A = this chain, B = another copy of it.
């Protein structure tokens, strides 16, 4: 068997999320069904860096699969893309990795971008791709509040009830808020996140942006270690998994280094 790292882009709109579920189509099922065609019809199980929720998009998800024989990575990429057609899921790059390399456990950084369409008119071009917030947001106040969440903390206040992580401790390395035209972008980086952590942080920062909360209130919500103390969960459709970092970029050798760490 040969192990391949895969960098994957998808539009999460029509999916129940990354993970296989009984209630609808998943990105994982699309990938694994295509992969089984390269494994003589045998089942193939993928391991993924970020198990994105229903409606969450990816520009740079990373997964790994094991396939029999030793196909060239470009052949694996193109064959998977052929078999996944016409689903909105594509392998951007494939790379050979060692048998003990894991898309999930070898990862040392996960990068997310959250897009808020902040204008009165509803989205047309950004439909399903952004959270529509009509009231004008103060991105500077949001950014100031975001900075109070950096570092190693108990993030219980921003953790979904269904979160399966053993510990609520996480180290948040980056949480920047900036405006680009009608879009307010939130850029988040950590070794790993709790379930819904990014969306819960964004839903809380939005309360600062629209004037409902002070900047200090976000820090107080963190310290409370109580999900009820923070704001609501921002919708899935504005969230993009943009990149995953590894100690050595597996795609660099393939001439496709993981680019978008913004």
A contact residues vs B (CB 8 Å cutoff): 9-11, 57, 59, 77-78, 81, 85, 88-92, 119-125, 127, 181, 259-260
Query: Which listed residue, B121, B124, B181, touches A11 by the CB 8 Å rule?
Result: B124
Assess whether A121 is in contact with B91, with CB atoms less than 8 Å apart: yes
Whole-angstrom CA separation of A196 from B120 in the bound complex:
33
Assess whether A125 is in contact with B11, with CB atoms less than 8 Å apart: yes
Closest B residue, CB atoms, query A121: B90
Assess whether A181 is in contact with B78, with CB atoms less than 8 Å apart: no
Assess whether A89 is in contact with B124, with CB atoms less than 8 Å apart: yes
Assess whether B88 is in contact with A127, with CB atoms less than 8 Å apart: yes
Query: Which listed residue, B78, B123, B127, B260, touches A120 by the CB 8 Å rule?
Result: B78
Secondary structure class of chain A's binding surface, majority of residues: loop
Whole-angstrom CA separation of A9 from B126 in the bound complex:
10
Residues of B within 8 A of A78 (CB): 120
Assess whether A92 is in contact with B77, with CB atoms less than 8 Å apart: no
Whole-angstrom CA separation of A122 from B87 in the bound complex:
11
A sample of 19 more A-B contacts (CB under 8 A), given A77-B120, A81-B121, A90-B123, is A9-B121, A9-B125, A10-B124, A10-B125, A11-B124, A11-B125, A11-B127, A57-B125, A59-B125, A81-B122, A85-B122, A88-B124, A88-B125, A90-B121, A90-B124, A91-B121, A92-B119, A92-B121, A181-B259
Assess whether A90 is in contact with B57, with CB atoms less than 8 Å apart: no
A-B contact pairs, 23 of them (CB 8 A): A10-B125, A11-B124, A11-B125, A11-B127, A57-B125, A59-B125, A77-B120, A77-B121, A78-B120, A81-B121, A81-B122, A85-B122, A88-B124, A88-B125, A88-B127, A90-B121, A90-B122, A90-B124, A91-B121, A92-B119, A92-B121, A181-B259, A181-B260
Q: A181-B259, A260-B181 are in contact. Are A9 and B124 (CB under 8 A)?
A: yes
Interchain nearest-CB distance for A52 vs B (Å): 13
Whole-angstrom CA separation of A78 from B134 in the bound complex:
12
Residues of B within 8 A of A85 (CB): 122
Residues of B within 8 A of A181 (CB): 259-260
Interchain nearest-CB distance for A117 vs B (Å): 11
